[in-house]
Structure 1
Amino acid sequence: MIQELNRSYGNVFEGALINEILQVGTYKEVPAGFTLMEIGSYVKGMPLLISGAIKVLRDDKNGDELLLYYLEKGETCSMTMTCCMGQTKSEIRAIAETDTKLIMIPIQKMELWTSKYKSWRNFVFESYHIRLNEMIHTIDSIAFNNLDERLLDYLREKTRINKTNTIHNTHQDIAYELHSSRVVISRLLKKLENKGYIELHRNSIEILNLD
């Protein structure tokens, strides 16, 4: 674990903090599709991603999902930190997008490290800043972009995160994450296929050219 931690966070945290993380952190490996956090649950730890990716989603009052952002190597979730510090229930759902390795930090260490380590404090503030910008981008996308543009952005981000041109999601999966309907998403995907951008298969989409 020490080598992976140093590769991901050695240029972010000082040595003393790295050593404390090794002492108190819990190393986990989770498969793609694994739910790390559910809406309404109490948060007992904060994740530091070593590898892989996690998607963070919200539910509306009807139970429909909306994809907020992805977490990647060297990152953490600011909404998780907020719940930890306030000891409140989670307002987000976190699901592993790919096979993921992470270290869970106990909540009791978070406030202590904020005052003890400048690098931790900077990391926390930077994480808030990044996640806030990503949520603003999501809001702007919903408010100002049509669904065609949002779908294209979604497909591009999926291929980047998963490092493959084949997306293993059903039309219904995509509809949930874009807060739309399967019928609408299927129609837009067919339009993209007719333009030669993608090729549709059963439960998967092959990206040909989205540039």
Structure 2
Amino acid sequence: MVNELNKSFGEFFESDLIQEIAKSSSLKEFSSGTKIIEIGDYIKGMPLLISGAIKILREDNEGDELLLYYLEHGDTCSMTMACCLGDTKSEIRAVAETDIKLVMVPIKKMEDWIGKYRSWRNFVFDSYHNRLNELLHTVDSIAFMKMDERLIEYLREKSRITQAKIINNTHQEIAYDLHSSRVVISRLLKKLEQMGKISLHRNHIEIIDL
């Protein structure tokens, strides 16, 4: 585990902290599509993402989802940290966007290291700052961007996260992520295909020129 932690977090943490994380934490792997955290769960640890990507979703009163942001290699989730330290239930859903590997840090160690290691404290504060900026970007996109612009941004980000030109999502799944309807998303995807930006297939979308 030490080698994997050094590759992903060596630029943030000193060697003593890396050793402590390796001794006290557990290494977990999840396949793409797996729910890692569910809304209403009590969270007992803080994830440090070694590889892959996780999407963080919010749910409204009617059960419709909205994609908030992605976590990538070297990231953690500030909302998870807040739930851990406050001993409150999760208000987000975390789903593996790709196959992932993460290290789960126990709550007690999170609290101890904030006082013991400056690098850990800085990492936690920087993570809060980064996630807040991503949330603000999501709010701005909903408030100020048209749905076709949001869809293009979504497809670009999907392609970047998965490092592939093939998007293996149904129109309904994209609609859920963007808090829209399948009819609207299908119409906009068809328009993008007519413009030569994408190619629609039965089970996937191919990015051509976005």
TM class by smaller structure? over 0.9
Give the match's secondary structure for 2:16.
helix
Deviations 1:143-185 (A, max 9, x none): 0000000000000000000000000000000000000000000
Displacement of 1:35 in angstroms is: 0.6
Q: What secondary structure does 2:3 align onto?
A: helix
Letter in 2 for 1:115: G
Within 2, Cα distance between the matches of 1:83 and 1:194? 45
1:50-61 aligned within 5 A: 50-61=50-61
State how far apart, in whole Å, the 1-side matches of 2:142 and 2:58 are.
14
Q: Deviations over 1:17-38 (max 9, x none)?
A: 1010010110011100011000
| Corresponding position of 1:77 | 77
Q: Which runs of 5+ in 2 are unaligned?
A: none
Q: 1:106, 1:60 → 2: CA distance? A: 29
3-state SS, counterpart of residue 6 of structure 1: helix
Matched residue, 1:41 = 41
Where 1:74 maps in the other structure, the secondary structure is: coil
Size of the alignment, in residue pairs?
Answer: 210
Q: Which amino acid aligns with 1:156?
A: R
Gaps of 5+ in 1: none
The residue number in structure 2 matching 1:7 is 7
Deviation, structure 1 residue 132:
0.1
Shift, 1:134, TM fit: 0.1
2:142 corresponds to: 142
Q: C-alpha displacement at 1:203, in angstroms?
A: 2.1
Following TM superposition, the consecutive aligned residue runs of length 4 or more in structure 1 with deviations greater than 2 angstroms are none
**Aligned residues: percent identity?**
68
Offset, 1:4: 1.1
**Structure 1 match to 2:189:** 189
Separation in 2 of the partners of 1:124 and 1:11? 14
TM-score after normalising by structure 1: 0.99
CA distance in 1, matches of 2:15, 2:2: 11
Task: Output the CA distance in 2 between the equivalents of 1:29 and 1:92.
Answer: 20
TM-score (norm 2): 0.99
Match of 1:17 in 2: 17
Equivalent residues in 2 for 1:54-203, closer than 5 Å:
54-203=54-203
